[in-house]
Amino acid sequence: ETGVTQTPRHLVMGMTNKKSLKCEQHLGHNAMYWYKQSAKKPLELMFVYNFKEQTENNSVPSRFSPECPNSSHLFLHLHTLQPEDSALYLCASSQQVALGDNEQFFGPGTRLTVL
Amino acid sequence: SQQGEEDPQALSIQEGENATMNCSYKTSINNLQWYRQNSGRGLVHLILIRSNEREKHSGRLRVTLDTSKKSSSLLITASRAADTASYFCARGSNYKLTFGKGTLLTVNP
């Protein structure tokens, strides 16, 4: 256990569905991240939040909508996804976004399949 | 590419042998980190080496960093079947980590 939980662990959805992924960290961290991991591709950073403020949107399509209501919770709202969005979505947290050391703690991921 | 790139892509060894994985990068870093991922799971942080450090140890892990060559290596000594996983290097720069594609290590009992 890394102190970062993600729900659901598996999700199958149609292209017209709306669903949300949830991430919670119990580490007292102030920065949270969403990553996408597709087969045979490097881990892709999607969004970064620091003290609830979004500091990075890595050119992610608008069908992915993040929400960070507080430093412990992070959501990824999904709507009208495409089959190529099928991937493992990983949440991570760190003490804060800052220069220097930035060890990140990852959740177990949500395996998303878009039909 | 600004990513950390691991080499080899896959490595298969026998239990008890040492495993060496390499990572190269192209831009300056604050630190370089190694992570491990068991199949379909989240990543687990293994070790962090700062740009002004050359070598670091943690248990059976040894990491080196050569900033002049922009490369790092991860050595796992006396490997065990439980070490079977994917290993990723991540370049730490400012607030971001940039990951490579990883090395799939298989340790055969």
- Flag whether pLDDT at A79 surpasses 60: yes
Q: How many angstroms separate the CA atoms of B63 and A84, rounded?
A: 36
Interface of A with B in 15-44 (CB under 8 A): 31, 40-43
Residues of A in contact with B88 (CB under 8 A): 43
Q: What is the mean pLDDT of residues B91-105?
A: 88
Distance CA B6, CA B32 (A): 12
**Residues facing residue B96 across a β-bridge:** B93
Which residues of chain A have a CB within 8 Å of the CB of B100? 42
- The mean of the pLDDT values for chain B is 92
Task: With beta carbons less than 8 A apart as the criterion, state whether B102 and B85 touch.
Answer: no
DSSP 3-state of A19: strand
List CB contacts (< 8 A) between B96 and chain A. 45, 48, 56, 102
Over residues A45-77, the pLDDT tens digits come to 999 999 999 988 889 999 999 999 999 999 999
B42: nearest CB among A31, A45, A108: A108
Radius of gyration over every alpha carbon of chain A, rounded to an integer in angstroms: 13
**Portion of chain A with pLDDT greater than 90, in percent:** 77
- Check CB contact under 8 Å for B41 and A109: yes
Classify residue B58 as exposed, middle or buried by CB count within 10 Å of its CB (0-12, 13-18, 19+): exposed
Q: How many CB atoms lie within 10 A of CB A2?
A: 18
Q: What's the pLDDT at B1?
A: 43
